[in-house]
Structures are given as C-alpha cells and as structure tokens.
Structure 1
Amino acid sequence: MSRVVFVLLPGVHLLDLAGPAQAFGTAADFGQPYLLSYVAEQEQVPSAQGLPLIADTEWPELGPDDLVVVPGWRAPTLRGGPELSPAALERLRAHHAVGGTVASVCAGAEALGQAGLLDGRRCTTHHELQDELAARHPRAIVMRDVLFTADDGVVTSAGIASGIDLALHLLAVRHGPALAAQVARAMVVYARRNGHEPQASAMLRHRSHLDDTVHRVQDLIDARYTEPLPLAYLAASAGVSERTLTRLFTRAAGGLTPLRYQQTLRLERAEHLVSRGMTVETAAREVGFEDARMLRRLRARVLF
C-alpha cells in the first residue's frame, strides 16, 4: 500500500489539504488504497479557516512509490510566510532523490522552492503568487495560467481547488484513467478540467467537452484501453454509426479519433511504467501493444 504524507504548515488552507486527501482516500473504494499521514513541526496546526488540525511530528518511513504533498497556506505574499525546518526540507529532497514524488498545492510550491526542488523544473502556484515565486526562485520555470505541472517527480498545482486536479492526474498516471474517472465521479467533481499543460493526463486533457455520447465512449476506452476496441464495437456501444462517432469524437476530443485517444492512454501509461524501470518491450505488452515498435514510434512523436 502506498502512503501519502501531507506536510502541514501554520495557516494551511483546508481545501488545499482536504481536496487531495479526499481523492486519495476515495481511491480505496475502487481497489487502490492509500495510507494517509499528516506531519508538521508541531502537533497542533492552525488552519486559515480557524479549524485546528492535529499532526504527527515524526515522519514515517517512505519508499519510492509514496507521495509527499505540501498543501498551501494563507499568504498575501510568500516572503515572511511559514517555513519548513532544515530537517523537513532535507526530507523532501531525500524522498525525491530515491525516486519518490513530491507535490505542492498553491503556496506550497514555496516549500519545494526552499528545498531546491524547483530548480530547472516547470512549476506553478496560485496566479497571485506566480511572479513572486519566479523572483524568489529564479532557476524555477514558472508556468502561468495552468492548473498543474509535472516535471521529473515534482508536481505543483495552482490555487486551492486545483489540488483535486493534481490528485486526479496522479491517480490517472499511477493506476490508469478509469480509476481517476471513478474517483472524480464519486467526489462529484468536474474531472475534465485542464490548463492546457502538456503534462496533464490524457483523461483530463481530452475530456474538456460536454458531449455525453463521446464521454460514454471515453468511459469505455478508459476502462479497457489495453484491449482491442474496434470502431464498430465502440459505435454500437454508443448507439450511433461509425461515421457519426468519428465525427463527434474528433470534434469533442481535440481532433483525436477513438483509436488515437486509446493510443494516447496507452502511451501515457507506458511512459509511467518505463519511468519506474520497466523495459520498453515489457511496457508495450503491459499496455496492449503487440510489440514495442508502435510504442517506440509514438514515444518519438509525443513529448509528455
């Protein structure tokens, strides 16, 4: 079971914390349980909304499959805000160094910057704090007007509710788009938001439309993307002709046909598996390609 450790600082925004915690907690309902932990410099942490929170002062043991998330806090400016201790910053660096994922919501990007994890990497934060983040950490590549970024195991999201988008992206990459869609539906959130960031998961990137017919077909592809899914079968499942489905799908999904959408899901999952040490050949078989040649061609065309 993977663990998610939330690092709480004084003035933490409840939604910055509760959104991702709810998403990872809900994943257990669909067969992917996460152990949630909360750590802080002191046992009681005041929140921005006045509700005091209780946290552990000792960090649990972490492995490469675990996540560390720093929720944001109320901060008109980043300067003068709460800071992690040198020991906690070293924890963040050490977890990333062994292959673990470190993430932030909103102002939490400042903590990642203090740890040096934003240097040379794409990142984002709340739109009111982006200029200051760029000034305080000039080696960071601050992306504006995006919901979240993912770069070499460092994942950052914009303001407040975008932490939910970040969590859904991580669930989609780690467990497949169907799981992320199930979690989103259970939470009754709009699962198809994206900020036109290339690192966004395919499930989010090509779901920003309102065509129910296409969403039903995408639900089917999401759940069975490793299987052969002929266009005739997809069209029959949707109750439309093949020609109509192709027309509706390409219009709604940014020009992708159902086959290209399925290939995008396979490629995204294969990239994750390769990043975890799996060979290209094994990853290709795992996601449904008959051999690795197609995967290699797709990887050469697309940069995630």
Structure 2
Amino acid sequence: MSHVVFFLVPGVHLLDLAGPAQVFSTAADFGHPYTLGYVAERPEVVTAQGLPLVTRLDWPELGPEDLIVVPGWRALTLAEGPRIDEASLRALRDHHARGGTVASVCAGADALGRAGLLDGRRCTTHHDVQDELARRHPRAAVVRDVLYTEDDRVVTSAGIASGIDLALHLVATRHGPAVAARVARDMVVYARRNGHEPQASAMLRHRSHLDDTVHRAQDLLDARFDHPVPLPELAAAVGVSERTLTRLFARATGGLTPLRYQQALRLERAEHLISHGVTVDAAARAVGFEDARMLRRLRARAS
C-alpha cells in the first residue's frame, strides 16, 4: 500500500492539489493500491479559489514507498507565501531521509527549499517565480522552462496543470508506461515525461490526435511494448485491415508505422534504465530487443 499525502497551506491552488490527486485516485481505481491523505497546520484550509478544505493535523506513519506532495499556493512572490512551521518542514526532511519521495507543484518548491531538500538538486517551478526560487535557494540547481524535474527522490513541477504530468510520470515510473497511458486517457489528458528527457515522450509527441482506432492500437503497443506485436494481430485487435491501420497510424502520428512507434517506446524505456545504471545489453533485453545492436543503432540515430 502506498500513501500519497498532500501537505496543504492557506491559499493552496485547487488544481495544484486536485490534478495529482485525481491521477493517483484513478490509478487506485485501476487496481493500484494508493491511499490519499491531506495534512495541514490547521483543521481547515481555504483554497485560493475560496473553497474550504477540512484536513488532519497529524502526519500518518509513512514508509519509503510513500509520497508527500506539496501543492502550490497563491502569492505574487515566493517571499509573500504562507509561513510554514518548522515541525512541518522537519516532516518533509525526515520522510526523505527515510527513503521516501517528496514532490511539489508550482510554488510548493519553495517549501521544499525551506526544508533544505533543494540543496544540490535539480528543481523547477512556475516560470513567473523561477528566478526568485534561484535567489532564495542559491544551492539549488533551478532548471527553467521544463514541466518537471526528478533528482534523488525530490520531484518538482512547474505551474498548475503540470502537477498532472508529474503524477503521471511517477505512476509510469512505478507501474510502467501502459498504466500511465491508461490513467491519462481516462482523465482525457496526455501522458508525458520530462527532466533529462525534456519534451521527448513518445506518448506526448504521438498521442496528440483524435483517432480512436489509433489510440486503441497505441494502448495495445504501450501495454506490450516489450513483446512482438505483429501488424496482422494489431490490425485484427482494433478491427481494421493492415493497410487501413498503417494509413491511419501514419496520418495520426506524423508518419510513424506501428513498428516505429513501438521502437520509440522501447528506446525511451531503455534510456530510462540506462540512466539508472543498467547496461545497454541488459536494457535491450528488458525492453524486448533480441539483439543489443538494434538498441545501439536507435540510440545513435536519436543522438
């Protein structure tokens, strides 16, 4: 069981909170055991949009598999943001020290900075306050104009809706891209990655279309990207001819064939594994390549 605890401050933005909460709630609906909780320093927190929220005051017992998310709040500058007690900042530090993950949306990065969790780590926030975040926390490596960053279990995202992208990334990391794609589709949003792969997600680049047949084919390829999926089998599964599927797929994805799309998924996953210390040969086997030479060719072509 993974707990996702949202730490709320006065003036919290509803979408900063509701977006990630919906992602993990939807993942739970699909059988992944997430329990959501809400903690604040007062029993009622009024959001920036005027909606009062009732929260608990005590932190639940958390383990390394659990996540704390700090949504952002309304303020013209980070310096004008709400006061946060040292006990709350210590809770953030202690969770990370025990092996847990801590995340923020928008101005919530400043709370992580106050807790000392941004020191020496890559981070980001809303473009309006990126420079101020860098000034307030000079030991942080602020990355500008990206959706989110991840560095040593500290995950930060840009403004408002990017919290959804951050949460989808965490779901993909824990459960695979097919689960993240399913959650994203249920929420009618795009699944995407960022960080060391800025704007490069195959799901982002090739899911921004409205062709339901191609989406269904992509769902199957996402779920079985590491196994052979012959074109006749794929076409039969979505109820069209091979020729029709190839034509629709190319039109929807900017010229890709189903095989090329599957290779893009494999390459993306292999790069993730390699960035975490897996050898090229092992990564190739893990994503379904029979020969590591194919992975090396695809990496060379993409560089």
Q: 1:201 to 1:152 in 2, by over 3 A?
A: farther
* Unmatched tracts of structure 2, length 5 or more: none
1:191 aligns with 2:190: yes
Alignment-derived partner of residue 9 in structure 2: 9
Q: Residue 210 of structure 1: SS of its match in structure 2? A: coil
- How far is 1:34 from its partner? 0.5
When normalised by structure 2's length, the TM-score is 0.81
1:207-218 to 2 correspondences below 5 Å? 207=206, 209-210=208-209, 212=211, 214-218=214-218
Contact 2:190/2:208 (CA < 8 Å) preserved in 1? Answer: no
More deviation, 202-211/55-64: 202-211
Cα offsets for 1:276-296 (capped at 9, x unmatched): xx99998876654669x6799
Letter in 1 for 2:266: Q
- How far is 1:68 from its partner? 0.7
Give the total of aligned pairs: 297
Alignment-derived partner of residue 270 in structure 2: 267
1:75-86 to 2 correspondences below 5 Å? 75-86=75-86
Alignment-derived partner of residue 120 in structure 1: 120
Alignment-derived partner of residue 167 in structure 2: 167
CA RMSD of aligned residues (A): 3.6
Q: 1:110 to 1:167 in 2, by over 3 A?
A: same
Q: 1:249 to 1:161 in 2, by over 3 A?
A: closer
Q: 1:139 to 1:185 in 2, by over 3 A?
A: same
Alignment-derived partner of residue 228 in structure 1: 228
Q: Residue 174 of structure 1: SS of its match in structure 2? A: helix
Residues in 2 aligned to 1:9 and 1:162: alpha-carbon distance in whole angstroms: 19
Contact 1:214/1:248 (CA < 8 Å) preserved in 2? Answer: no
Cα offsets for 1:171-212 (capped at 9, x unmatched): 11111112112212222x321466686167845443354273
Cα offsets for 1:203-251 (capped at 9, x unmatched): 5443354273654432211111232224564466563449758966874
Contact 1:235/1:245 (CA < 8 Å) preserved in 2? Answer: no
Q: Residue 75 of structure 1: SS of its match in structure 2? A: coil
Residues in 2 aligned to 1:295 and 1:137: alpha-carbon distance in whole angstroms: 44
Q: 1:207 to 1:173 in 2, by over 3 A?
A: farther
Q: Residue 134 of structure 2: SS of its match in structure 1? A: helix
1:1-304 to 2 correspondences below 5 Å? 1-187=1-187, 189-192=188-191, 198=197, 202=201, 204-207=203-206, 209-210=208-209, 212=211, 214-230=214-230, 233-234=233-234, 239-241=241-243, 251=254, 257-267=260-270, 270=273, 288=288
Letter in 1 for 2:67: L
Residues in 2 aligned to 1:12 and 1:75: alpha-carbon distance in whole angstroms: 10
- How far is 1:46 from its partner? 1.8
Identity of aligned residues (%): 60
* Unmatched tracts of structure 1, length 5 or more: none
